[in-house]
Structure 1
């Protein structure tokens, strides 16, 4: 107890009355800081007090530093709503529209678009696309940073799926891991270059995150994340795919950056809220300026998380290809829950956030999944300026998770899956096919955004759960 500082010690040091004192004292209770002598603790607090901006992104002291900075004289006011374009408006619930309209009132907002699969989210709605000037919004990127779709096409006939159901089930069970906090057991982990990145050393928040990332690389999360075998039907052969028109065995995966991305999102959202005080209805849209240290740090961490998500998919597909004894003849991959620096038609550089929206620049390939019992589509973007070169990232939810669990039953979901010939491993009522919009209706609402090159029909689906 000899090293325990009190509020008066901090006041004597020069700390102002308010949150900063309480935050600093709470931090000093952390095990590695309690070991410091009172002299060293006071010296450290003196450095933070004198240079709070230098500690805004520090793993231990970011919130104390933010509390030491002068508070803004008033909240940042919202401005008149800028116009934006909606695709498939008749299929979008009012709460998602309200969230999009709030985002269009931010002073940093330049342009926006709402995709036909849109539904309610945190801050920006899922299916929302937002262009900002020199600012990045962590919750407009999303919690699962860099969440991706990845498709491998194998030169095996569709009958392979019906003839080897049990073998393919075992391949999925042996070569995938699912669930919040779940990682690969020691001895089964694969090396990845992304784990050697300098960001794990250079960014204070990431310094203790590498070991957990190493456990989870090559795994999938919970919720709507999946790995599945299905039938790929190429209907329009092009140079992009490099395979003839026909049907093939395919592997489709959907997952993101695991605990690494979630931690980055939560940390920098809290920091953004500390330095960017918005009205209550817009507080989840707090941003970080790209001309600030915190903004640059988040941008680097976000890109690391995106590359980490890509590495997860690469390992999943590598394991499955090896188990099949085949090499893929084509691959398609795209991501959402990310921010890109792009130029508008008028030449302005902006930051385009696609939260649950697929990049659809001219000639860009992507996959837009349906549900367990509905096909997904291999698409080629048309680069429509009004959509900010974007398209939907799926069918979109028709029911919230809570409503799906309350209204659907195990028996009716199993019957529905059986009628469509779907073999499901894991999964829950909240991910039942009936909880999603009709993918065909969604695709009809975005014909001007993408061309369809083929489809993927799920047959053996692996998700989190027993």
Structure 2
């Protein structure tokens, strides 16, 4: 399998983030007969001497963009704060430098009020995944993320653990029958589901999203690709939980992870481009371009983001309802929480916009689910409302390997062996989602003991993910 060139490879080469990397990736997509190594070597030469490539048939656009970038004046940009406030960080010793540096840049925005870095953090675009940022009257599309409203949803059934082991084939059959995965994939005709979210007047009134209803309808109840999953597992309450009204014991549970699909991704792409056009930040901060909440554009995005969040929730509801009916089970408790979103909250006695890109809301008493990997436990938690963390916690274990690195270093045999060792049945997924690509969830949980209390533990047993190499997160 050929290793692709991605944005991070080009950043390491020295190409500036943003438009220039986009141009380089477009050139690379055609490859022009070059190997990966040859293409990277050419990019390096263009970066060093762009004037030599102005008339080049392949690299001229990149060369011109680099020269224009070199001639931009600092006064053309919104100035960053040279003396930003510090941000809270949890488990910092296990967080890569790239994520920490991205958080440092985010703290320099003139609209930033406070920030925090969760122990599962890793480098992303703009705000790091696992980054929490509170801003004043500003919304950052890339601070929310591409998969708007991505979330976890849990149904705990009145089914004892022993029933699962005696009926594994039934659970597998229902999991395959009632889920659909893959970037761009959806349902057709009679297989489409329905939900009140599709009746929102915004699909007729909103300037941009009125053309996205058909896409939203076809993908309703599907799960996409990347790290999205639907899985059965065993939920263990070591003691009764009075708030959820669940006795001590082990129960079969369904856990789902996915977001707003193509609808949310289209919204994110559209408003990220607009933000970059109207909010001119220095190159190092370009992916943190923001929209003023007092403007029409800011309000447009805010409304679209919230509808995308409602749509993501509806997708989970469709899956959980289908499974509940198929199993003929009674649901003892449902818990749902989302990330890749922004909320209006009060922090330090002022209203702020809190962006949680890959971070779980963890206000006082707020329930959440923090998964590990397909072979590591997940945790049902209750927030402690830690203000330094901006009432947040991690959204999972977090990656310790990039997808490319995982595919290069992990073998199918190694993945199959670890699944067998943990008695986990996997349907779909590639090596990029292998358990070894993720951090140790126990280490992550140990780093956030002051942020959440553990209520119960979820052990995966039957996992379904996309099997087509999708990269949709």
- TM above 0.5, yes or no, is yes
Larger Rg, first or second structure (1 or 2): 1
Contact 2:241–2:248, Cα closer than 8 Å, also in 1:
no
1:44 corresponding residue in structure 2: none
Runs of 4 or more, structure 1, over 3 Å off, are none
| Local SS of the residue matching 1:434 | helix
After TM superposition, list the pairs within 5 Å mapping 1:28-47 onto structure 2: none
2:446 corresponding residue in structure 1: 444
Cα deviation, residue 326, structure 1: 1.1
Instruction: Indicate whether 1:229 and 2:232 are aligned.
Output: yes
Instruction: Indicate whether 1:292 and 2:295 are aligned.
Output: yes
Instruction: Indicate whether 1:92 and 2:95 are aligned.
Output: yes
Distance verdict in 2 for CA 1:386–1:252, change over 3 Å: same
After TM superposition, list the pairs within 5 Å mapping 1:106-121 onto structure 2: 106-121=109-124
Aligned with 2:133 (options 130, 133, 143): 130
Aligned with 1:302 (options 302, 305, 309): 305
Distance in structure 2 (CA, Å) of the matches to 1:73 and 1:126: 30
1:390 corresponding residue in structure 2: 392
2:353 corresponding residue in structure 1: 351
Cα deviation, residue 329, structure 1: 1.0
CA RMSD, 1 decimal: 1.2
1:320 corresponding residue in structure 2: 323
| Local SS of the residue matching 2:331 | coil
| Local SS of the residue matching 1:305 | helix
Aligned with 2:339 (options 315, 336, 339): 336
| Local SS of the residue matching 2:159 | coil
Distance in structure 1 (CA, Å) of the matches to 2:293 and 2:326: 44
Which shifted more, 244-253 or 232-241?
A: 232-241
Aligned with 1:277 (options 280, 284, 293): 280
Contact 1:421–1:459, Cα closer than 8 Å, also in 2:
yes
2:197 corresponding residue in structure 1: 194
Distance in structure 2 (CA, Å) of the matches to 1:77 and 1:209: 36
Instruction: Indicate whether 1:427 and 2:458 are aligned.
Output: no
Instruction: Indicate whether 1:455 and 2:451 are aligned.
Output: no
1:405 corresponding residue in structure 2: 407
- Contiguous gaps of at least 5 residues in structure 2: 1-72, 469-473
1:155 corresponding residue in structure 2: 158
Cα deviation, residue 413, structure 1: 0.3
Count how many residue pairs are aligned between Structure 1 and Structure 2: 395
- Contiguous gaps of at least 5 residues in structure 1: 1-70
Distance in structure 2 (CA, Å) of the matches to 1:247 and 1:390: 28
Instruction: Indicate whether 1:142 and 2:148 are aligned.
Output: no
Cα deviation, residue 161, structure 1: 2.2
Cα deviation, residue 175, structure 1: 0.2
Instruction: Indicate whether 1:83 and 2:95 are aligned.
Output: no
Distance in structure 1 (CA, Å) of the matches to 2:466 and 2:245: 33
Distance in structure 2 (CA, Å) of the matches to 1:268 and 1:240: 40
Contact 1:81–1:102, Cα closer than 8 Å, also in 2:
no
1:51 corresponding residue in structure 2: none
Deviations 1:199-253 (A, max 9, x none): 1122111121001100001110101000000000012433331111111000000
Distance in structure 1 (CA, Å) of the matches to 2:100 and 2:456: 31
Contact 2:182–2:223, Cα closer than 8 Å, also in 1:
yes
After TM superposition, list the pairs within 5 Å mapping 1:168-183 onto structure 2: 168-183=171-186
Distance in structure 1 (CA, Å) of the matches to 2:329 and 2:169: 18
Cα deviation, residue 157, structure 1: 1.1
The alignment's TM-score, normalised by the length of structure 2, stands at 0.82
1:374 corresponding residue in structure 2: 376
Cα deviation, residue 73, structure 1: 6.1
Distance verdict in 2 for CA 1:387–1:293, change over 3 Å: same
Cα deviation, residue 185, structure 1: 2.7
Aligned with 1:363 (options 355, 362, 365): 365
Distance in structure 1 (CA, Å) of the matches to 2:266 and 2:103: 25
Distance in structure 2 (CA, Å) of the matches to 1:427 and 1:457: 18
Cα deviation, residue 462, structure 1: 0.5
Which shifted more, 163-172 or 126-135?
A: 163-172
1:104 corresponding residue in structure 2: 107
| Local SS of the residue matching 1:156 | strand
Contact 2:74–2:282, Cα closer than 8 Å, also in 1:
no
Cα deviation, residue 277, structure 1: 0.6
Contact 1:161–1:459, Cα closer than 8 Å, also in 2:
no
Deviations 1:98-146 (A, max 9, x none): 0000000000000000000000101000000000000000000000000
Contact 1:177–1:219, Cα closer than 8 Å, also in 2:
yes
2:17 corresponding residue in structure 1: none
Cα deviation, residue 453, structure 1: 0.4
Distance in structure 2 (CA, Å) of the matches to 1:318 and 1:358: 24
Distance in structure 1 (CA, Å) of the matches to 2:279 and 2:100: 23
Cα deviation, residue 300, structure 1: 0.2
Cα deviation, residue 72, structure 1: 11
